[in-house]
């Protein structure tokens, strides 16, 4: 075992002991049940819920205070890095980060145009079978009625239980409800807030996280709140005297990085991890989510993450009489994929998986970016449905975020995308929802490379790219681009598959003339006169599915 791994395990073990000690004196403990906080126990008890396998599509409101500047992702880190365009925007718009910090952006999040019931109704029409609310991002604001963290949306910003309001709206609409927890990374992500400008009129003056304490809030909007609780404390503070933005950025890259999976160092780190577990179990107990998304490789903080998983599964047994929930994480080892669901962020698989999985992506940036509207760079409805067909054919689900501005109302382009999804689902939904994979996922020249964060390298799909699903005895072929005239499904050549093809029907368009030979199933596709996309063909016969 590497020395760094040994240290990580020791720190996580100490944090777990600290969490257990805190819970012993707390009314909120981890749930008691048959599932133990060990990988073999998770594997032995877990079964993928049927509702998740049937659902196929979830929509996600990756929404919080970082949506307010409308600049995209990771604003709370980059606004503290001189030379970054988000830093420049922050100075021009809000003031210098020595005074106007991320704490103040959080309080600017008012959600004044947010109507969750209207949004959820749109998501249902677009095909969503589950809805996920962001519970806490790296910016460390709990967007819910948090028992253990004072920096929450009832005391800051909207002054509302955002997660709780989403939860009620989703369940009223008949959706399964999920939450996402990204807080394990907050401790290192926020270390730029303890830095300073290396050059310029504020040279060497530390940003607000370094200077402010609870007593400094007297007479301010944040009176009674401790900024150090929000910014997590100084774990990796840039030394004085760095003389350039390049030197500052290099220092941060080397010391706090941009993605750290380990527990924080020292006694304060153990307290941080213990509190993370308390916040996580509180979130689960309070809202009883059907799905919980961890933004982590494997589980957060080793044994602490295992305890969080066991707590969730044991609570599900108490609620449902069985484990009927989904817990997702990333980069799982093969055996771990039978204890929870692997999530592939903004990525693909190049083969049909034996076990269910999920990919999560967004039509734009994770947090709202006004530039996506002005330059029309969102994913289109066609691209979304191409992605859905590709994922479902490989035994996966698609979790899609529709980014909301800080005020909480989607923009005009997002409305068009959701309307396009709704129109497609109304015609072709039977090929997706409740379906299962066929014996092969599909055919065609475009098979995106497996991996995370590789959407940008994917080539456009063609009319020769076809994906298969089965549902209630029928076989479906989804063409990722609309064919022009004749089309051939080579996987369905005579003698290549058992059974017989008796009818071929274009969903929403009626029967299609067809013939079958050794080269494939040949279809006379109608002309696309209505701007349709990703047409689905139903094949009925004997022994096909």
Tokens 């029928």 belong to residue: 474
Parallel/antiparallel/unpaired status of strands 514-517 and 520-524: antiparallel
Q: Please provide the DSSP assignment of 195-258 as one string.
A: -BBSSSTTBTPBPHHHH--GGGGTTSTTTT--HHHHH---SSPPPTT--SHHHHHHHHHHHT-S
Domain count, the chain: 2
Beta carbons within 8 Å of 140's beta carbon, 6+ residues apart: 149, 151, 183, 186, 190, 230, 231, 232
Residue 278: phi and psi, rounded to 5, are -60, -45
Beta carbons within 8 Å of 27's beta carbon, 6+ residues apart: none
Query: What is the spatial distance between Cα 458 and Cα 456, in angstroms, rounded to a whole number?
Result: 6
Note whether residue 355 is domain-resident: yes
Domain around 514? 442-542
Residue where one domain finishes, among candidates 431, 456, 484:
431
Note whether residue 115 is domain-resident: yes
Note whether residue 110 is domain-resident: yes
Query: What is the spatial distance between Cα 222 and Cα 100, in angstroms, rounded to a whole number?
Result: 12
Note whether residue 420 is domain-resident: yes
Note whether residue 321 is domain-resident: yes
Note whether residue 353 is domain-resident: yes
Are residues 415 and 497 both part of a single domain?
no
Beta strand spans in 143-207 (E): 176-181
Among residues 209, 230, 213, 269, which one has the least CA distance to residue 150? 230
Residue where one domain finishes, among candidates 369, 399, 431:
431
Are residues 359 and 501 both part of a single domain?
no
CA distances from 122 to 310, 330, 428 (A): 34, 29, 17
Query: What is the pLDDT tens value at each position of the chain, 545 positions in all?
Result: 333 344 444 444 554 554 444 343 333 479 999 999 999 999 999 999 999 999 999 999 999 999 999 999 999 999 999 999 999 999 999 999 999 999 999 999 999 999 999 999 999 999 999 999 999 999 999 999 999 999 999 999 999 999 999 999 999 999 999 999 999 999 999 999 999 999 999 999 999 999 999 999 999 999 999 999 999 999 999 999 999 999 999 999 999 988 999 999 999 999 999 999 999 999 999 999 999 999 999 999 999 999 999 999 999 999 999 999 999 999 999 999 999 999 999 999 999 999 999 999 999 999 999 999 999 999 999 999 999 999 999 999 999 999 999 999 999 999 999 999 999 999 999 999 999 999 999 999 999 999 999 998 999 999 999 999 999 999 999 999 999 999 999 999 998 888 899 999 999 999 999 999 999 999 999 999 899 999 999 999 998 88
Would you state the pLDDT for residue 13?
Answer: 52
Are residues 396 and 448 both part of a single domain?
no
Please, are residues 65 and 106 in contact by the beta-carbon 8 Å criterion? yes
Q: Please provide the DSSP assignment of 252-315 as one string.
A: HHHHT-S---SPPSHHHHHHHHHHHHHHHHHHHHHH--SEEEEEEESSTTTHHHHHHHHHHHHH
Helices (H) and strands (E) in the chain, counts: 17, 17
Would you state the pLDDT for residue 424?
Answer: 98
**CATH code assigned at 307:** 3.20.20.80
Among residues 496, 464, 493, 491, which one has the least CA distance to residue 480? 464
Are residues 149 and 112 both part of a single domain?
yes
Are residues 458 and 389 both part of a single domain?
no
Half-sphere exposure of residue 513: CA atoms within 13 angstroms, side-chain side = 5
Note whether residue 437 is domain-resident: no
Query: What is the spatial distance between Cα 186 and Cα 73, in angstroms, rounded to a whole number?
Result: 14
Are residues 362 and 477 both part of a single domain?
no
Note whether residue 436 is domain-resident: no
Query: What is the spatial distance between Cα 324 and Cα 47, in angstroms, rounded to a whole number?
Result: 8
Among residues 510, 504, 491, which one has the least CA distance to residue 444? 491
Query: What is the spatial distance between Cα 243 and Cα 196, in angstroms, rounded to a whole number?
Result: 11
Are residues 422 and 457 both part of a single domain?
no
Which tokens is 426 given? Answer: 């109304």
Residue where one domain finishes, among candidates 379, 398, 431:
431
Are residues 498 and 400 both part of a single domain?
no
**CATH code assigned at 505:** 2.60.40.1180
Are residues 156 and 43 both part of a single domain?
yes
Which tokens is 461 given? Answer: 């799909």
Query: What is the spatial distance between Cα 388 and Cα 307, in angstroms, rounded to a whole number?
Result: 33
Are residues 404 and 298 both part of a single domain?
yes
Query: What is the spatial distance between Cα 334 and Cα 346, in angstroms, rounded to a whole number?
Result: 20
Are residues 384 and 480 both part of a single domain?
no
Are residues 383 and 248 both part of a single domain?
yes
């Amino acid at each position: 075992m590497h020395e760094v791994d040994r240290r990580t395990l020791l720190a996580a073990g100490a944090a777990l002991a600290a969490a257990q000690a805190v819970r012993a004196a707390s009314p909120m403990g981890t749930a008691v049940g048959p599932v133990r906080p060990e990988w073999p126990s998770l594997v032995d008890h877990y079964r993928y819920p049927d509702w998740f396998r049937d659902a196929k599509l979830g929509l996600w409101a990756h929404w919080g205070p970082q949506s307010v500047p409308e600049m995209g992702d990771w604003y709370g880190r980059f606004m503290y890095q001189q030379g970054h365009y988000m830093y420049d925007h922050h100075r021009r718009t809000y003031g210098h980060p020595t005074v106007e910090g991320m704490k103040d952006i959080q309080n600017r999040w008012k959600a004044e145009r947010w109507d969750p019931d209207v949004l959820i109704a749109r998501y249902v029409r677009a095909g969503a079978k589950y809805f996920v609310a962001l519970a806490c991002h790296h910016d460390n604001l709990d967007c819910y009625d948090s028992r253990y963290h004072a920096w929450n949306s009832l005391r800051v910003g909207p002054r509302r239980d955002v997660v709780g309001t989403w939860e009620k709206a989703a369940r009223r609409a008949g959706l399964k409800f999920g939450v996402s927890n990204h807080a394990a990374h907050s401790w290192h992500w926020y270390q730029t807030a303890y830095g300073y400008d290396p050059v310029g009129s504020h040279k060497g003056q530390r940003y607000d996280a370094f200077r402010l304490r609870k007593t400094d809030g007297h007479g301010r909007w944040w009176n009674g709140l401790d900024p150090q609780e929000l910014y997590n404390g100084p774990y990796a503070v840039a030394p004085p005297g760095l003389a350039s933005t390049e030197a500052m950025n290099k220092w941060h890259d080397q010391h706090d990085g941009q993605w750290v999976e380990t527990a924080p160092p020292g006694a304060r780190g153990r307290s941080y991890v213990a509190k993370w577990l308390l916040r996580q179990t509180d979130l689960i107990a309070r809202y009883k989510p059907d799905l919980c998304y961890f933004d982590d490789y494997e589980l957060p903080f080793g044994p602490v993450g295992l305890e969080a998983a066991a707590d969730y599964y044991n609570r599900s047994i108490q609620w449902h009489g069985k484990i009927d929930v989904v817990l997702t994480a990333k980069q799982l080892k093969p055996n771990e994929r039978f204890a929870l669901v692997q999530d592939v962020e903004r990525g693909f698989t190049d083969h049909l998986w034996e076990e269910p999985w999920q990919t999560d992506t967004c039509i734009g940036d994770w947090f709202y970016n006004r530039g996506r509207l002005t330059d029309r760079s969102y994913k289109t409805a066609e691209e979304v449905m191409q992605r859905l067909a590709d994922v479902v054919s490989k035994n996966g689900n698609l979790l899609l975020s529709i980014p909301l501005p800080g005020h909480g109302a989607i923009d005009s382009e997002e409305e068009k995308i959701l309307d396009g999804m709704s129109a497609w689902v109304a015609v072709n939904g039977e090929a997706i929802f409740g379906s299962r994979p066929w014996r092969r996922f599909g055919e065609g020249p475009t098979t995106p490379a497996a991996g995370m964060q590789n959407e940008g390298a994917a080539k456009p799909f063609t009319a020769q790219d076809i994906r298969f699903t089965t549902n209630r005895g029928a076989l479906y072929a989804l063409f990722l681009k609309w064919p022009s005239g004749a089309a051939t499904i080579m996987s369905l050549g005579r003698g290549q598959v058992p059974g017989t093809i008796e009818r071929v029907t274009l969903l929403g368009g009626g029967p299609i003339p067809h013939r079958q030979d050794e080269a494939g199933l040949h279809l006379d596709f109608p002309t696309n006169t209505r701007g349709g996309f990703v047409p689905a063909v139903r094949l009925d016969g004997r022994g096909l599915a």
